[in-house]
Structure 1
Amino acid sequence: MTVWDRPEPPTRPLPLDRERIVVAAIALADEAGLAAMSLRKVAARLEVGPMRLYGYISTKEELFDLVVDEVHAEILPEEQPGDWREALRAYARRTRQAALRHEWLADLLGGRPTMGPNALAVTEATLAPLDGLTDLDTALRAVETVSAYLTGAIRREIANLRAERATGLSKRDWQRAFGPYLRRMLATGRFPALTKAVYDGTEVDAEASFETGLDWVLDAVAAKLARPPA
């Protein structure tokens, strides 16, 4: 029986329910990351004994399932785009925005499928606009391809943000610190393609990079959808 199927215990003094537990867990994780999201710490935030929580949640993995599904409510579009490309674009953008609000989400993306009601609604919103445009397997691969791209892009962006906080060095600071070493290495002539990229490439911010990559992925999906069936 899943955590969503299991009934909650009867109300006791100091009312408690899964919604309050999830809100407390998300607040802790937003403040200090996944390591702060333990049943003991959530219980302390709610000012109850840890054993009270076990009537609602059996394991830490169930807690992760619940908080991830709660964030999927933020990813679910307010209105369903009719066009498949806009639906997948909205899904990618809203997932990135949710991860920037809840950085711990990046650590849980790309694992086992999330089966909560909000996550199922997000999956429905991404698949529905593709229904009838192509065969089912192609539609599934299209959504998986976009999901794989945004998972990698989000993890890279969050890793960079964490590195800046951990070191106190902005991207510019880091470039200045390693600039002399990099120039010496490039001057050896061993890295001609990299040298051209460093000196002639255009630097863009994280959002522009995400949007460009997303456009390329969606273009590839569009090309696949345009091909006649084999």
Structure 2
Amino acid sequence: MLDLYTDATPNGLKISIALEEMGLVYNTHQVFLGGEQSTPEFTAMNPNQKIPVLVDDGLVVTESGAILMYLAEKTGRFLPTEARARAATVEALMFQMGSLGPMFGQYLVFAAAWGNKFPPVTKRYFSEVSRILSVLNTRLEGQDYIAGDEFTIADMAVAPWIRLLVVHPACSTLPLDENANLKRWWARVSERPAVQKGLMNPEPFAPKKQFEGFVTAVVGLGELHATS
């Protein structure tokens, strides 16, 4: 049995999508990011105190990109074996891990957690996320999915982040309509039943609690990482 320790964040939901797409049976353990990731039990699984964490019969895997690759290799699905297609998929996954996720995350910190207290910084990350969205739009020119014509773990990694453009108030002005290829990709991916199911597992805590956890975990703002 697979055990997923996670929350309703983009990095967590990408694993839920993968597990649903792969048809795997798993238990979901929702972690409140206002402090539960700092418990001795969770820290023993991941000293970095971040979700998601996957436990497969005693084997612990952390880092969402590594978990996606582990699951793809475990099932033999959604990660091509042909060299060019595999390289394109891994490249696109690393682009999400190294660019889209970190920059989008910083935008949310300054636009939401910090309440746009520092407008020039918010603008910097807004501009960078906008640029990254245009890169994804270019990647999608002439193909249905992020890494080519097949749905892969790269699409699973990107989907929860693009979803923020249509569900998160702080993201509503980011340029989705201006990136037609990306908008069509999102419409295509969001219609997949397994994606829909994965995006709802786990369901977020009540809005006030979910936001509290987000703010608490922000380094330099929340008390979770406060130093004496």
TM range (shorter): 0.3 to 0.5
Q: Which has the larger radius of gyration?
A: 1
Q: Which has the higher strand share?
A: 2
| TM-score, normalised relative to structure 1 | 0.33
Instruction: Flag the structure with higher helix content.
Output: 1
